């Protein structure tokens, strides 16, 4: 099996017949012949099955996979010798045999790819959809706006948590399975959403929840205050040697760093800042400090346990603070230098909801650079989503039905674009679910 993906990527080709008006005037052979190069390409489609039904169906017992492999490799003499071991006259049978071998070929048991599907976004949800649909026989093209596939796996998660060689290895497998990746292509900008919906039988939006949550204290406009993902993605681009999306170089070297937000993204900012050479890193959180080990108020499996999580980055050197709300940024010459924070408490209101109440106790934290790691609110609406006219739920995510269909015909959505920023495992699960929905829809349309 010289080319393990040829049976997926290369279609069957026949030599065809001479033109009717020409052949009816003589008694020459009507069937044309493929060129040697075309024969090699067609021979590469042989899957070298573990149980070759073609061998069983042939009355002569011709060893098809073996001589097809010789043809693919250009070893014509070896190929014909293998064929002559079982067939005295292959030059006869090649012209007049009805080819029971071909009728029993495993490739003949399935038709060509059922339908064409476009997946927009190559994060964990998009990659899961692509692989599932490709394995069901659909022709899948994945569109990615960045230089390389992977989404937040590649550009959001630091290398010290996920070596990008692991992603590259898996992507090579997906490409060998027949999935087509089109990078540096932003749907809604480089290609319109309308064009994609016309060219493909189904489109799945796996664009993530890219709209970051922001705060607006006094001084928010000062330089040196960045969204966490701009910082993290830039560092990954630097390691990859790629052009920077955020043209301004964001550096924590020799700086006092303030990370606002206590989740995983904030932790990643801590570890990245330390590796860049920050003088000091402080991370603050507006919520109370969770208990260590167990939390009786959030027992599993009724809810996800809310307990103190100390990451490897925290252990590398970080001051962590809780119950602090940022009320002002102060700066010099237009650049941030300090953050004023207020100590708060959470109290239950009459409706049962927790309300943040300031205590009046404030302090100033030195901050030469600030990273806002406050999570994401919903997918970016401007561009593709608004162009397509998809509906949104109350949180601003793409609204879908039980089959993951959006309000636009044959346009599906999945992953963080539907459920908000969440876990990689949830994104994969969501992708697998929508792949089945798309497959069922397209199979019904075909029938």
Do 303 and 283 share a structural domain?
yes
What's the number of domains the chain is made of? 3
CA pair distance 136, 8, nearest whole angstrom: 11
Do 246 and 187 share a structural domain?
no
Domain boundary among 109, 137, 164: 109
Do 365 and 232 share a structural domain?
yes
Do 93 and 44 share a structural domain?
yes
Do 183 and 228 share a structural domain?
no
**How far is CA 155 from each of CA 38, 47, 311, 323, 326, rounded to the nearest angstrom?**
41, 36, 20, 30, 28
Task: Report yes or no on 392 lying in a domain.
Answer: yes
Task: Report yes or no on 428 lying in a domain.
Answer: yes
- State the residue range of the domain holding 13: 6-109
Domain boundary among 64, 87, 109: 109
Task: Report yes or no on 281 lying in a domain.
Answer: yes
**Integer distance in angstroms from the first to the last C-alpha of the chain?**
33
CA pair distance 132, 386, nearest whole angstrom: 28
Do 147 and 57 share a structural domain?
no
Do 409 and 346 share a structural domain?
no
Which CATH number does the domain housing residue 382 bear? 3.50.50.60
Task: Report yes or no on 404 lying in a domain.
Answer: yes
Do 131 and 226 share a structural domain?
no
Do 225 and 340 share a structural domain?
yes
Task: Report yes or no on 104 lying in a domain.
Answer: yes
Residues 6 or more apart in contact with residue 125 via CB below 8 angstroms: 206, 208, 414, 415, 416, 417, 427, 428, 430, 431, 434
Do 156 and 12 share a structural domain?
no
Do 67 and 20 share a structural domain?
yes
Give the global pTM. Answer: 0.76
Task: Report yes or no on 1 lying in a domain.
Answer: no
Task: Report yes or no on 47 lying in a domain.
Answer: yes
Do 177 and 125 share a structural domain?
yes
Per-residue pLDDT tens over the stretch 402-421: 999 999 999 999 999 999 99
Written as tens digits, the pLDDT of the chain (447 aa) is 556 667 666 777 888 878 878 876 877 777 888 888 888 888 888 877 766 777 778 887 888 888 788 888 899 899 889 888 888 877 767 776 777 777 677 666 555 555 999 999 999 999 999 999 998 889 999 999 999 999 999 999 999 999 999 999 999 999 988 899 999 999 999 999 999 999 999 999 999 999 999 999 999 999 999 999 999 999 999 999 999 988 889 999 999 999 999 999 999 999 999 999 999 999 999 999 988 877 777 776 666 678 888 999 999 999 999 999 999 999 999 999 999 999 999 998 888 899 999 999 999 999 999 999 999 999 999 999 999 999 999 999 999 999 999 999 999 999 999 999 999 999 999 999 999 999 999 988 655
Q: Rounding to the nearest 10 degrees, give the CA dihedral for residues 77, 82, 88, 92.
A: -70
Domain boundary among 318, 343, 374: 374
Task: Report yes or no on 434 lying in a domain.
Answer: yes
């Amino acid at each position: 099996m010289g080319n393990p993906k040829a049976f997926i990527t290369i279609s069957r080709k026949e030599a065809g017949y001479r033109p009717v008006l020409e052949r009816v005037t003589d008694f020459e052979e009507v069937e044309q012949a493929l060129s040697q190069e075309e024969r090699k390409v067609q021979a590469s489609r042989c899957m070298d099955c573990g149980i070759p039904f073609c061998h069983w169906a042939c009355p002569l017992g011709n060893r098809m996979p073996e001589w097809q492999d010789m043809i693919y490799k250009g070893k014509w003499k070896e190929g014909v010798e293998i064929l002559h071991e079982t067939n005295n006259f292959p030059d006869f049978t090649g012209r007049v045999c009805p080819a029971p071998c071909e009728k029993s070929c495993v490739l003949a048991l399935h038709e060509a790819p059922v339908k064409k599907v476009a997946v927009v976004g190559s994060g964990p949800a998009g990659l899961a959809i692509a692989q599932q649909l490709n394995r069901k026989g659909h022709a899948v093209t994945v569109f990615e706006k960045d230089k390389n596939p992977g989404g937040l796996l590649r550009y959001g998660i630091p290398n010290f948590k996920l070596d990008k060689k692991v992603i590259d290895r898996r992507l090579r497998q997906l490409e060998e399975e027949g999935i087509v990746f089109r990078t540096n292509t932003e749907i809604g900008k480089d290609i319109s959403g309308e064009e994609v919906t016309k060219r493909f039988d189904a489109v799945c939006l796996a664009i993530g929840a890219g709209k970051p949550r922001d705060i607006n204290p006094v001084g928010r406009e000062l330089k040196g205050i960045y969204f966490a993902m701009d910082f993290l993605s830039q560092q990954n681009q630097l390691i990859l040697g790629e052009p920077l999306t955020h043209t301004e170089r964001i550096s924590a070297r020799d700086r006092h760093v303030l990370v606002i937000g206590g989740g995983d993204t904030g932790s990643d900012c801590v570890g990245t800042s330390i590796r860049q050479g920050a003088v000091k890193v402080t991370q603050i959180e507006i919520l109370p400090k969770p208990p260590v080990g167990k939390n009786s108020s959030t027992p599993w499996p009724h809810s996800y346990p809310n307990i103190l999580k100390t990451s490897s980055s925290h252990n590398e050197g970080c001051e962590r603070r809780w119950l602090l709300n940022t009320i002002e940024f102060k700066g010099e010459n237009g650049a941030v230098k300090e953050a004023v924070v207020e100590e708060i408490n959470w109290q239950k209101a009459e409706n049962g909801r927790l309300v943040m109440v300031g205590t009046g106790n404030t302090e100033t934290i030195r901050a030469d650079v600030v990273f806002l790691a406050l999570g994401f609110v919903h997918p970016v609406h401007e561009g593709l989503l608004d162009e397509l006219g998809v509906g949104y739920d109350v949180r601003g995510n793409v609204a879908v039905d039980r089959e993951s269909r959006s309000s636009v015909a044959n346009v599906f959505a999945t992953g963080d674009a539907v459920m908000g920023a969440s876990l990689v495992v949830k994104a994969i699960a969501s992708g697998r679910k929508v792949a089945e929905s798309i497959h069922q829809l397209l199979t019904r349309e075909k029938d």
